[in-house]
Structures are given as C-alpha cells and as structure tokens.
A and B are shown apart, each in its own frame.
Chain A
Amino acid sequence: MNTAEFVALTLSPLLISVLSAVTCALPGNFLVLRRQALIGDAISHVVLPGIVAAFLVTGVVSAWPMLIGAAGAAVVAVVLIEAVRRLGRIEPGAAMGVVFTAMFAAGVLALEQSDTSSVHLDVEHALYGNLESLIWLDATGWSSLWDPVALAGLPPELGRIAAVCLGVAAFTLIFWRPLKISTFDEGFARTLGIPTATLGIALVVVSAVAAVAAFDAVGSIIVIAMFICPPAAARLMTDRLEMQIAWSVGFAILSAVLGFILAGYGPLWLGGSNAVSAAGMIATVSGLVLALAAVFGPCRTRSGASAQG
C-alpha cells in the first residue's frame, strides 16, 4: 500500500477510531471508579431510539438533529431510571434493565414502522457503525493535509469527534479536583461545598455526549467497550488516578490502532480477501488488553497496595 492510499483510505477512519476511544475512555475512568460502568451500557442502548426519534421528527438523516436526539434520549433514560428506582423502590441494576431494554425495543419498533428504506438507517449500522466508510477520497498523499480543498472533503465525523474529544478533555481538566474528590469520598466532597449531585449528573451528560459522538462514527459496541475496558485495565495498573487516566488513554489508543490494523490487514495476512468489522475488532483488542491487565497487572488485587509496596 502506498502513502496516497494510506492517507485516503486509512488515516481518517483510524483517527476517528482513536479519537472515539479516547473520548469514551476519559469519562469511563470515573464511571468505573464510581461503580456506574453500566450507565455507559444503558446510554449506548438508548441512543438508537433517540436517533430514530430525531429522524421521525425531521424526516432526514442528518448529523446534528440525530446527535441532539440521541443525547436527549440518554438524558431521558437517566431520568427514567432514577424515577423507576425511586418511585418503585427497585434496585438500580434492575431499574436500568427495565428502562433501557424498553427504550431499545421502542426504537427498533419505530424503525421498522417508519419508512427508512430509502435512507441509511438500520439496526446493524447502529450497533457496529460504519467506520470503514469514513474515508477521505479527496486526499492524494500527505501533502493533502496542507491543501484546503482536500481538507474540506474530510468526513464530517472527524471534526465532530475531535471537537467532542477536546470538550471532554476540557471537562476533565477543569473539574479535575471536584471530580476526583467526589469520586473517592462523596461525603467529604459535600463538606467542602462541592455540589456532588450536580457533578454526578454532569458526568453522566458528558458521558452521553461522548457516547453519542463516538456512536455516530463507530457504532455502539466500541462505545461500551471503550467506556469500560481501557479504564478497567488501567485501574489494574496503578493506584493513582492521574496515572490511571494516562494508562487508560494509552490503552484506548493502542486498542484502536491495533484493532483497526488487525481488522483491515489481519484477514489478508491469513490469506483471506475481505476485511472484518473494525469496530468489533477494536472491542476485541480492548478486551484482550483488559485480560492481560487482569492476569499481570501490578495492582490487580483488591488489597489496594501494589506488589512493591
């Protein structure tokens, strides 16, 4: 493969998958530490009804209404889960299971009922994205990176996920101290005057935005995998939150790059001719990373202290 082909066909989906992975891994760290990992699961399931609702309202498949619809659905789901939990006095896991499965079912039903045959909107797409199709056809080589005409042909998903990635990183940096304190010791955080409830909701909303932006590009599987696997693996590597975030970003990038390359070229090396699902492969690689961390990670046990000390 020559450089022109690499820049045109590989660079942009690779960048999108790396950015998606990092965007999800950042809030994922806090979700894992707060034992709210399954919020990511619930959010990624309810994105489908949100997108379908946006489509039914606007009648077109375009990015912004769908992003807003999906984010709205995530917020509705979180509110509903909380309402079911409080009103029915049901444990959170079951409340979550009731809400997100029902919303997902409603989304599938609405999708089947509406006339979406003319547009590219289906359940499979929602589940595993279309990473492979996010290519940059205007590129002719590395020099295209400085060519404004070619740059205009970049897939819009790249710009969106980059913007959201920056936003999530900014959120993490700006609210670093309150996030850290309220994650580890909510009572202490409250005595310091940190609005822990608001911060908790903000974290969920940021996760929802991250999930929706990444979902748009790579489908909901990678989203769940990236929310949970890299932060969980990082959790087994260190006791310090700063280091954990660094590890998780590293793991996320590693999974995205390795998964993407394996999906694209792995079958060719094995003698096959067609690439396999990149989204699925990235999730698989992130799982393997977690498995390695769970077996060899220096801080894998519950005792807290690492082996050295």
Chain B
Amino acid sequence: MLLDALTLQLGYNATLVAIGAALLGVAAGVTGTFLFLRKRALVSDAISHATLPGVGLAFILMVLLGGDGRWLPGLLAGSALTALLGLWLVQWLSRATRLGEDAAIGAVLSVFFGFGIVLLTVIQTIPAGRAAGLESFLLGSTAGMLYSDAVVIAVGGLITLGLVILLRRPMILVAFDPGFAETTGIDTRRTDLLMMTLVLAVTVVGLKIVGLILIVALLIIPPVTARFWSDRSDHVVMIAGGLGGMAGYVGAAISATAPDLPTGPIIVLVAFAGFAASLMLSPGRGVLSSFLRHRRFQAAVHMRQGLLALAQEQPIYEPLTLRLLRRAGLVRADGVPTDGGRARAAKALRDERRWTVLRSMEAHEVAASLYDGLREIETVLTPDQVAEIDRRIGLPKGVKP
C-alpha cells in the first residue's frame, strides 16, 4: 500500500498531492535555510499566522464582487498582502520601539490570527460562506485538490526556487556577516526583506497543503536537520531542499494510504523523524558521535595518566584507568606492570619530559602550543628535532647499586 503510494499508483489526486508536496518541501527547505542561518527562524511563524485575515478578506471581497469566494489564486493573493503587512509590522515594532523581535513576532502572530478568526466567523454568517471551508487553511486539506490548485502550487514553488538560486550569494553573505556584506555594497535591509518575501511566498504556496500553523515546520525543520550533515552553506541549502522534498513526498504518500491521516501533520512528522535521526546519528554534531568522541577522549586521558603513574611507581586507584591498562595488557590483574607496560610507561614519561623541554625552546613556540597532554610528540616534530631534544635531556644514567 505504502509502496503503491510512493510509486504514485494511488490515483490522480494522490499523485497531484505528492508532487505538489515534494515541490513545496524543496522550496521551503531551501528558503528556510537562509532564514535559519540568519537566526530568524520564528519570524516565519508570524508571517504564516498573518496570512489568515488575508484569506478571509479575499473571500469576502470576492463574494461581494459576485465571484466564487474559493478561487485559490485570489485567496493566496489576499493572504500574501496581510502576511506582508504582518512582516512589515514585525520589522517596524522591533526597530522603532524598544520591544524585542520575539515580542513583536508574538504580538503580530496572535493579533493577526485573532482577527482572521473574527473574519472567519463573519464569513460563516454570509450566505455564500456557509460551506466555505476556509478552516482547511489552518491545517491544510488535500482532499479536494484540483489540477489548477496543483499548478498554482507548482508554479509558485518553482518561481521561489529560481529566485533563491539567483539571490543565494548576497543572502548567504548577509546571514554570516552583515557588517562585511555592507562594506561590499550589499544593502542588508533590502536583502533581508527579499529573503522574508521568499519565505512569505513559500508560506502562501504551502497554505493549501500543510496549512498555516504547520508550514513553519517545513521552513525550520529541514534546514536544522541539514545543518547536522554539513558545515558548508551551499551543501546545507541543497541537503535542506532534498530533505524538505523527501518529507513532502513521503508524507503525502503515507497520508494517501489511509483516510484519517491528515497530510500536513504527517509531512511534519516525517520531517521531524529525519531531524531526530540526524540529531542522534550525524557524524559531526550528532549525540551518538559526540558521546563516542567523549569516551575516546576519556580513555586517552586515563591511559596517559595511568602510564605516567606507572613510570613514577605511584599506586593507581582509579578503576577505569586500571581497567583500560589491563585490557591493553600493560598491567597484570594485581596492578603490577608487565614488561610492555613498563616500556610504554617509560616512553610516556620521557615524552612528557621532551614536551617540557620543547616548551622552554623559543624556536618551537608554535609546536609547543600544541601541547595538550595527549598528543604524541612525534606528530609535531621530526625525528631529528626529537633527537635534538633528547640530547638536551641526556641519556639514562646508570644507578650505583
């Protein structure tokens, strides 16, 4: 069943939804990356909630003009207008008053949404609005998606994607170093505004499929997930687009397999599953890899300290150190060093002495700064240099009995 859905065998409507959701996911992931890198992810929350009054106003206007209130492009145009107003208000409140951007976002989000709800209750009372079903914009609804709706979504998604590709360089620059961007002649404020307009476009396009409450997730989760897999901005953008597209496609396919699996939430949960997996498993920043890295570091420190203690014939009480030394075959079960252990311990102590000498040599200041108690001195110096240091330390002296 799921396989059928993934290979687009579940009928016309399911195919439309899956393709539309995939395109939307790509556009949202790519656009959201810039928003995330600019550390303004939650501005999208204000934008998306501010679309609701626009939908209501557009519906009322279209009905008053005698048309069909549910014409999708009209509704989307209306939602874009109020979202733009909301965006402008967020910028203005956080710039012109002492309120922080967070308060501005929260205020715009709740007030616009509240006003949108008022308009929805007004619409319920006008005769043509009885079956308007504008509530479907809250959480998205793909049940009755038309071919024309899918075209609107696809074209909107593609235009957004094209604009992002054109504008990616200034947006990256502004995201990482606004000051430097200014000096290279980029208008930071206009770039920010363009970025926000793209976010707005994605939001508006996504209203039909995932709804205005959850579109934020498509803008935030794929970029955050992609960030786990790369430190290069262009890679993050591409991975985020891929992840977003995949979440949209897989989510839409899963939701097509059963009647009571709403598309929007499923897409979001698929994206979140990707996030959770990346949080745990990503090689660089994942929880698992940092845990392993920590364990390796811990073992190296214990090993080193254990060897130094052996060389100086101090007793070792730390159980972890003893266990590590025993496992490496350097001490016996009763804590007495083996021959191998004695050799390694002597080497460790000599290395420590070599580092001390090295750090007193001004010529090797850079090499000496690499000292962290764990690094093998051979990785820093050539054999000649090590031999030079050994000459200063001197050879082992015989001890008279």
Contacts and interface: CB of A to CB of B under 8 A. Distances in A.
A37 B292 CA distance: 37
A38 B107 CA distance: 10
Contacts of A228: 103, 106-107, 110
A105 B107 contact: no
Contact of B106 (A40, A113, A273, A276): A40
Interface residues of A, number: 68
B174 to A, nearest CB: 16
Contact of A301 (B42, B97, B102, B124): B97
B117 A294 contact: no
Interface in B245-276: 260-262, 264-266, 268-269, 272, 275
A221 B220 contact: no
Nearest to B101: A35
B161 to A, nearest CB: 22
Interface in B95-111: 96-100, 102-103, 105-107, 109-111
Interface in B71-116: 93, 96-100, 102-103, 105-107, 109-116
A233 to B, nearest CB: 9
Interface stretch (B33-41, B175-183, B339-347): B33-41
Interface stretch (B192-200, B210-218, B328-336): B210-218
Chain A contact residues, majority secondary structure: helix
A89 interface: yes
A14 B74 CA distance: 37
Interface string A90-133: 11011111100110111011001100000000011001100000
Interface in B14-66: 36, 39-42, 44-45
B80 to A, nearest CB: 20
Contact of A280 (B117, B264, B287): B117
A299 interface: yes
A90 B224 contact: yes
Interface in A42-79: 45
A262 B117 CA distance: 14
A66 B98 CA distance: 38
A102 B106 contact: no
B145 interface: no
B213 A225 contact: no
A8 interface: no
B115 A101 contact: no
B350 interface: no
Nearest to A97: B220
A102 B279 CA distance: 15
A227 interface: yes
Interface stretch (A148-156, A165-173, A177-185, A283-291): A283-291
Interface of A: 32, 35-38, 40-41, 45, 84, 87-91, 93-98, 101-102, 104-106, 108-109, 112-113, 123-124, 127-128, 221-222, 224-225, 227-229, 231-232, 235-236, 263, 267, 272-277, 279-284, 286-287, 290, 294, 297, 299-302, 304
Given A228-B107, A283-B110, A299-B98, 20 more contacts: A40-B106, A89-B285, A94-B220, A97-B224, A104-B213, A105-B272, A112-B261, A113-B261, A127-B117, A128-B117, A221-B113, A229-B107, A236-B98, A273-B125, A279-B114, A280-B118, A282-B114, A294-B93, A294-B96, A294-B99
